[in-house]
Structure 1
């Protein structure tokens, strides 16, 4: 190894550990369900994004296996050569119908969506108004575009109006976009979509909603935009296929013209091999299940509300979450690390969330109750939270 690289790595890793910002990666031995096994010990799993339990759903597994037998384990090429199989076309038509748009494009990951879609439309001649708490993939996609990035205070509609007015009336930019998460993944709050659209229409903004944590959760599963009845107004509906959908990949849904443009200009789409046939078939099955059986989403919300009420009752600060995302906010990063370790030792698997994922001084553990948890599992988790919290004098 280069001596300079070794010095850089040693100093950097020591610095992270000293500040309580170094994260270890645990290996799950088996499926990522409501109960997981790590180092031979079973834990109640409150760390995954598997909101509806679809990652281990037998009908999704069957669909993936059947498609793999028919098409093979991989698509064999990028989409623009001969890697577009008929199952990819079926998938995109299904997503568009589900999201209430003319068309959709499937990417290999949600991160790829934001890297590809934003930079395919916005350029150095444009400006992007970006919510201060947007996901890292949005931030990176905005940077890649070369557009002027204007930070907007989190969910602050006065600030958005002011900065939109300034950007548009300055005459410096050809296009101005506002981009926001639909559901903010660390706090669980929801974008103020009706107010956002009023401001967007007032100033002629392009609107881009990253609905990674809203799809499968809000709008009877169809997402944040559908929740507010704005499917025909929002320009970009982006989401993942790896959270509530339970598989892997991402998508952008919008007008036919937008999707045609992205299929010719979005670089991750152009230069990466397609989603596997098995993944595509499993996603189609997940969407079918959500459309035909509302109990998946209903059970998710029932469990989430039950768990949140129990945590609040024993004295925890869970912030202002409006969704199943349930943070337990502690503040200090090192305390968050130690608290998570104690919970894991006692049988509840959570991860500490610290800077740079959240601002310094807002360290927390984040809980993700799912439709697959039973009330007994959640009760046991709350009992462990109470035990550890009292022992550490947090509650």
Structure 2
């Protein structure tokens, strides 16, 4: 009988051959430094290995081990419970969720907000629930946006990365196509979707120009602030920094990066939120966000808005960027994400290994995550790194870069 199963060993061998095989390397704590196991994924060698500085985390404000955030999670677990126990529409809706959503809506300048079990679920659920006729999507948008378009079975038009002029041309092409086919384009629903900060390139979308194009052609704008929430004006994102709350119909993001928790959110009008809590399958058919996660995110957002963590982060970003560029490294981006572009994947792996040997963790990012020829080290400081930590990171890159022959 024919074997109709799957050649898993062959798949793994192919990944290994092309330097694409990934492995887990557990750490003893999520913070600016920690002890890491070998990539085999074995027991944590806390007593046997050197402490390493982490310059690859999305824990941008360093709030995962902040006492206030941890206390909020403990209090929620003790008072409300460790899990929601059911979907929000059944019995899983708690006052902890409502407090988080109230604060998110206030921060994002919207009527309401809705918490999802993950940022991925927020993107997929929102696009699928809206069922747009056409989505205009930045070519480097997150996988969850791409999957949301697939699930909605919508026509997707991809425009050049962060290029509002190309977006405008695509919108005009759509109008011309409808005219040729004898259709009225006004009968279609159009949604423009973009990340605000792009996770692998560190670039920031030209949101104002995107809104200009959307308004000219009658489209809605949806902005994923996953890598921006908590870091900009009053703890908001790029939408808040640019004062675009009234021009962006749908704001969403994650609670698992700067807000040091787990989950996602969508913020917008009351009508939008009502539609999503009825029609977004990833919300309706998922157990509600765990109350400790909701409470931790709420407290982290409060700290981001009213503390000095944001200022400390941006100071570290400036210091690190200046240092890397002064060595001769090519550093992309306009945000807290600093991609050190190497090009060749083997050189990137060698540089990451050299940095790791000097007790700095900043893994190589290579195809298929990024295009061929643009392999890089994604360097990200945290607000909780001190000046000595930044200097140690720069010294590790200097030594490793010289060793590999990149400097």
Match of 1:35 among 27, 33, 36: 33
Q: Deviations over 1:344-380 (max 9, x none)?
A: 1221101111112111111111011010101101101
* Higher mean C-alpha deviation, range 223-232 or range 281-290: 281-290
* Higher mean C-alpha deviation, range 14-23 or range 180-189: 14-23
How far is 1:219 from its partner? Answer: 2.6
Aligned to 1:158: 165
How far is 1:3 from its partner? Answer: 4.9
Q: Distance in 1 between matches of 2:165 and 2:264?
A: 32
Contact kept? 1:236, 1:252, Cα under 8 Å: yes
Match of 1:176 among 190, 203, 213: 190
Contact kept? 2:350, 2:404, Cα under 8 Å: no
Aligned to 1:47: 56
Match of 2:143 among 136, 139, 147: 136
Is 2:320 the partner of 1:307? yes
Q: Distance in 2 between matches of 1:390 and 1:238?
A: 42
Q: Deviations over 1:258-316 (max 9, x none)?
A: 000000000111011111111111111112212222x1100000001101101111111
Is 2:101 the partner of 1:102? no
Q: Distance in 2 between matches of 1:137 and 1:351?
A: 22
Structure 1 vs Structure 2 CA RMSD: 1.3
Aligned to 1:348: 360
Is 2:75 the partner of 1:66? yes
Match of 1:237 among 242, 245, 251: 251
Contact kept? 1:49, 1:368, Cα under 8 Å: yes
Aligned to 1:23: 22
1:1-395 superposed matches below 5 A:
3-7=3-7, 9-29=8-28, 31-39=29-37, 40=45, 41=49, 42-123=51-132, 126-169=133-176, 170=178, 171=184, 174-293=188-307, 295-319=308-332, 321-395=333-407
Q: Distance in 1 between matches of 2:320 and 2:306?
A: 26
How far is 1:221 from its partner? Answer: 2.4
Contact kept? 1:352, 1:363, Cα under 8 Å: yes
Contact kept? 2:82, 2:292, Cα under 8 Å: yes
Q: Distance in 1 between matches of 2:162 and 2:349?
A: 28
How far is 1:4 from its partner? Answer: 4.7
How far is 1:150 from its partner? Answer: 0.6
Q: Distance in 1 between matches of 2:19 and 2:318?
A: 31
| Structure 2: segments with no counterpart, 5+ residues | 38-44, 179-183
Q: Distance in 2 between matches of 1:115 and 1:334?
A: 34
Contact kept? 1:68, 1:278, Cα under 8 Å: yes
Name the SS for the 1:208 alignment partner: strand
- TM normalised by structure 1 equals 0.96
Q: Distance in 2 between matches of 1:372 and 1:3?
A: 54
- TM normalised by structure 2 equals 0.93
| Structure 1: segments with no counterpart, 5+ residues | none
Instruction: Report how many residues are paired.
Output: 388
How far is 1:245 from its partner? Answer: 0.6
